[in-house]
Amino acid sequence: TGGCPPHSLCVIPLTNLRVRALPRAVLASEAGIRGPVLPHVEQLVFYAHHGLPSIDLRLFRHFSRQLRQSTARLWLMLYRQKETGVRPLTNISWMIEAGACVWGNGTVRRAWPSVFARTSEMAASTTDPNHRRYWWFHCTLLAWNHTYGHAYPKALFWWRVEPDVLVAEWASFIRLADTSHSDVLLPNFVTAKQHPTYPHWQRNKHLLAGVPRREWVYSLVSIGRYSRRFMHLMAARWAAGQVAYEEIFLPMSCTAREGCRRDSFRSLLGSGLHFRFRPNWNCTTFLRSAMSVSRPLLWHPVKRRQCWADYLDACGGNSSRPGSCARLLQEVQW
């Protein structure tokens, strides 16, 4: 693998990016653990964010505490356009009791110049600036792995989650996902027959060439879980400069021909999945559902998350505000 260390997912060393020690806040949150390596962690849940309002800082702290009841750990990856590396965010890491780092366009340009150049060409037809980044968002997981992956030698799965995705309780959600041994776990696969007018079929002909149309699928990628095997596969593709719109690129890169298995949250959750592109879900609608059912839930998009932050602050695991919890619950109209 071009001299990469055993834990690494790179195909060629990302020599332009620094290897860093874990933030002290990460080690402080691991009771009884001494030293720079966390061999008990098997999954990493990356929240991808652009703006980081205070509400989400509160939520990430709760999510981090929930995940510590499982073999998964939370990391925040904050996007800043002009950033050129992967740098720690020390203060934020202490605030959310989890890892936090910042990356940017320059990070991708330095690590995968051919990907960045090809993306600029391919994404020209995508008018929304945020959607243009959906041609290379996920390769930033490899940039993180080069920087901090040495501390997680037993990691098996990498998650990427956007902040408008809400899970009722993370530890139980991880346990449900563990029942699927797939390499790629995404919300729901949509075929070309089901959605023939999906605009990215036309824009990604280079990826779909030679693939029978009946096998074309896409999925929203607002949340996804990816195995070590799949990340190795994608590392090779990115190293070769291959790019495509990720809603197609990720599921279409996992095929039986390559020994790759994919599964959907739809098949795991059934009626517990409330996942769509738009319109937005109301936060109170999600809260009522989360309070009334015991099974794992997955909702998207929930843009305004104040009510969930208030609920977890008042009623969450280590709450010392039972009066506030009672008042909040009374305010929820059924």
Please report whether residue 135 resides in a domain: yes
Of 6-20, 33-47, 99-113, 243-257, minimum mean pLDDT range = 6-20
CATH no. for residue 187?
Answer: 3.90.550
- 299: which residues sit within 8 A by CB, 6+ positions away? 165, 166, 274, 275, 281, 286, 289
Domain count, the chain: 1
Distance between CA atoms of residues 292 and 272, nearest Å: 12
Please report whether residue 34 resides in a domain: no
Please report whether residue 188 resides in a domain: yes
261 with 181: CB under 8 angstroms? Answer: yes
Distance between CA atoms of residues 53 and 163, nearest Å: 11
Can you give the pLDDT at residue 247?
A: 96
Instruction: Strands of the chain (E only): list them.
Output: 43-49, 72-79, 87-88, 99-103, 157-161, 166-167, 184-186, 190-191, 217-218, 223-227, 262-264, 273-275, 298-300
> pLDDT tens-digit profile of 323-333?
677 777 777 65
The SS3 call for residue 230 is helix
Please report whether residue 185 resides in a domain: yes
Which pTM value belongs to this model?
0.93
Give CA angle at 316 (313, 317), nearest 5°.
135
> pLDDT tens-digit profile of 309-321?
999 999 875 444 5
Which has more pLDDT, 156 or 117? Answer: 156
116 with 108: CB under 8 angstroms? Answer: yes
Can you give the pLDDT at residue 322?
A: 59
Query: What letter represents residue 51's amino acid?
Result: G
307 with 283: CB under 8 angstroms? Answer: yes
Please report whether residue 7 resides in a domain: no
pLDDT for residue 227 is more than 60:
yes
From the list 219, 213, 208, the residue with the least C-alpha distance to 193 is 213
Tell me the mean pLDDT in the region 64-83. 95
From the list 301, 288, 282, the residue with the least C-alpha distance to 328 is 288
- 33: which residues sit within 8 A by CB, 6+ positions away? 27, 40
The SS3 call for residue 127 is coil
Please report whether residue 93 resides in a domain: yes
Please report whether residue 230 resides in a domain: yes
CA-CA-CA-CA torsion sign (228, 233, 234, 238): positive
Can you give the pLDDT at residue 1?
A: 36
pLDDT for residue 5 is more than 70:
no
Query: What letter represents residue 83's amino acid?
Result: E
From the list 165, 188, 192, the residue with the least C-alpha distance to 303 is 165
What's the mean per-residue pLDDT of the chain? 90
Tell me the mean pLDDT in the region 205-218. 95
At residue 144 the predicted structure's pLDDT band, cuts being 50, 70 and 90, is very high
Can you give the pLDDT at residue 225?
A: 98
> pLDDT tens-digit profile of 249-282?
999 999 988 899 999 999 999 999 999 999 999 9
pLDDT for residue 72 is more than 70:
yes
Domain residue limits at 171: 39-332
84 with 108: CB under 8 angstroms? Answer: no
pLDDT for residue 140 is more than 60:
yes
At residue 208 the predicted structure's pLDDT band, cuts being 50, 70 and 90, is very high
At residue 245 the predicted structure's pLDDT band, cuts being 50, 70 and 90, is very high
Can you give the pLDDT at residue 7?
A: 53
> pLDDT tens-digit profile of 111-137?
888 888 888 787 777 778 778 888 888
Tell me the mean pLDDT in the region 153-161. 96
Please report whether residue 4 resides in a domain: no
At residue 292 the predicted structure's pLDDT band, cuts being 50, 70 and 90, is confident
pLDDT for residue 307 is more than 60:
yes
- 158: which residues sit within 8 A by CB, 6+ positions away? 43, 44, 46, 141, 145, 225, 226, 228, 231
Can you give the pLDDT at residue 2?
A: 41
- Assign 3-class secondary structure to 2-35: CCCCCCCCCCCCCCCCCCCCCCHHHHHCCCCCCC
